[in-house]
Structures are given as C-alpha cells and as structure tokens.
Amino acid sequence: MYLAQERQKDGTHKFFIRHSYQDAQGSWLTKDIFDLGHDPEKFIIYVGLHGFYFAPEIEEAVIENGIDYKDEELEKILWPFIDPDIRRTIDNFGGRRTRNRSAKKRLTDQELAQLQKDIHPFDKRRLAFLRFVQTNLERIVSSPLPVFNCLLDKSRDEIEQMIHFMELDLRSFEMKGYLYAIFDMPKRFYPKRSRFIADQQDTELLDKYFLEEICSLNEDTAYLDKGIRPSSFQGLHPYLQKYLSLYFDIYFREVSSNKHYQASWTSPPSVAKDQKYYEIMGLTMEEFSAMSEEEFKSHYRKKALELHPDHGGSNESFIALKEAYQILMYRKRW
C-alpha cells in the first residue's frame, strides 16, 4: 500500500491509500483502497500526549480488499500527517527508524543485476539524482545497486507517487540539474567534457533534445505499461506533463538564470525582509521561530501540494513558495 495524491476537476487535490497488485498476465496495476479526502489528518485519532490510532474505517477498507498488512504500513503512509511533536518523540526514541530491521541476505552484483534488469532507466535516473544530487549518473545508473530495489514490484502509479513526494524536497536551484540529468541530456553532448554542466550547453539544442526525449518516453510502452494509459488518451501523459511545465515555465527559464538568486545565499537574509516570506508560507514570525527544521519542512510540503501547478496552483505562487522556503530554511540553519 502507498500514499497517492490526485488533482480533482475543481483544481483541488485529494489523498488516497492505494495498492499495487499483479493481474493474471503478471502486469502491475493499482487500485484505490481508501479516500483520505483533502485532509488525511482527520483520520488520525489522538490519545493522551503521544498516543494515536487510525480511524477504524481505514482498516476495514483494507481488510475488505483482502490485503494482508501490518500496522507499521499504515503508520508509514500517514506519517507525514501525524502531529510533528509526536513524530519527533517517536524518532527520538528510535521509533520507525529501528522497526523491522531484520537481517537480509546480501546479494551479489550478478544477482542484483538480474533482479533489476527490468527497471526503466528513467526511473533509475530520477531516483539516482534524488539520492545523490549529481548530473553525472552514467556509472550509477549502469551499476546494480541496492538503492534501486525500492523500484521493484510496484505499479507505474506507485513509482510515480513515490518519486513525486521525493521531488518535493528538491531545492529550486537543483531543479535545472534534475531535469537535465533525468532526461539523459549528457549523452546528447558526448564527447564534450562539459556535457554534465547544463549551463554550458546551447539553449536551442537543449530545447530540441528535451522535446525529443519526452516524446520518446511518451511512446515507450516499457515505461507506460499496461493499466496506465487509457485507450482513448491523446497527447502527453499526465505523468510527463509536469516535467514539460517545469522545463519551459518555471525553472529552466526563470529560477536557474537569475544571477541575484545565487548571490543572495552568500549572507544571511535580513530580518526585515523576511515578513513577506512568512506571509507566503502562511506563518507568523513567532510560529516560524518555534518550529524545528522538520516541522518547517512538513509545513512546506503541505503548502507545496496546495500550490503546485499540477494541482491547480499558479506557477508564480509555486515559485514564490519555493523561494520563501529556501530563504527561511537558510535563515533557520544560519
């Protein structure tokens, strides 16, 4: 089971508990188990200072669908919506981080390679960048690594949802490198020594290669497997539309080319100028000051889900939110 987020026709977004399963032909499909609505926290019932349990209707829905599960699975799905103080207390006492760490057999490189042979390169590149944050992914993606095992035995939707939530942690200035790397742009500029540096490449060629890569991926049945693309669907698949928007409307043309943006990180921002960033984040200075880094990240993720262009928000609001997060997080760490 996994957490999924989906944009509604009215522009709002809702959360679901979903389940990946295999059909008779062995294809990985997905189905909705429970509708968490716009505010999943309403299904978390608190007891005392640090106790909580989940609304019985969630467990009933899981059981009705014949899914064998453990309590830790539901906790993992709803973890982002649990009160930050309780999450911190659980982690401080080694809670979720030390559960179910049974010894596992270490696989050889040959065994790993065989296990991972059907993982799509696009998924590998995305996960590799999100874990290692570098544009030179050639050696990483071509190697059988345990880090890629999280991509196994999942439907396309589960993989996309997992990566989507990981992408929310990307900082604005990392997005250009992310898009450059995941669409395998460096191979297009081989054998140039500068092929791993997006800023060193011709802009018109970048646009041309990006469109070729995203269109090719849109027709790749190994990526968009059975049960994903409706037979009547036309145009660019929704899983890829966000990358087209990011490339042309947000990061490639605006954030990454802003020289003042990079210069602004050489010294801590002015307290007087922070007020507009508090307002963008929907916080007062006192509320921000009282938050831990983890609590602030959690608050940002919720706001990002509300304002993301894929979920009905405007590009301008999302860019402003990302900038406010970066500056305020920098200030908190400073």
Residue 258 has pLDDT above 60, yes or no: no
In Å, how far are 37, 194, 285, 306 from 8, measured between CA atoms? Answer: 11, 43, 33, 12
- Of 259, 257, 260, 281, nearest to 331 by C-alpha is 281
Q: 265-333: which CATH number, 1.10.287.110, 3.50.50.60, 3.40.50.970, 1.20.120.80?
A: 1.10.287.110
Task: Give the lowest-confidence range in 120-134, 257-271, 274-288.
Answer: 257-271
Residue 32 has pLDDT above 50, yes or no: yes
pLDDT at position 254: 45
CA–centroid distance for 235 within its chain? 24
Q: What contacts 262, CB < 8 A, 6 or more positions away?
A: 173
Q: Where in the chain is the domain with CATH 1.10.287.110?
A: 265-333
pLDDT at position 16: 94
Residue 165 has pLDDT above 80, yes or no: yes
Which value, to the nearest 10 degrees, does the dihedral of the CA atoms of residues 62, 64, 70, 71 take? 60
- What backbone phi and psi angles, to 5 degrees, belong to 17? -95, 120
| Portion of the chain with pLDDT greater than 90, in percent | 32
- Of 125, 138, 160, 325, nearest to 237 by C-alpha is 160
Mean pLDDT, to the nearest integer, of 139-166?
93
**C-alpha–C-alpha distance, residues 191 and 235, integer Å:** 33
pLDDT in tens, 309-330: 777 777 778 888 888 887 887 7
Residue 253 has pLDDT above 60, yes or no: no
Q: Where residue 11 falls among pLDDT bands split at 50, 70, 90?
A: confident
pLDDT in tens, 45-100: 998 877 888 999 999 999 999 888 888 888 889 988 888 888 888 777 665 544 45
pLDDT in tens, 103-149: 567 888 899 999 999 999 999 999 999 999 999 999 999 999 999 99
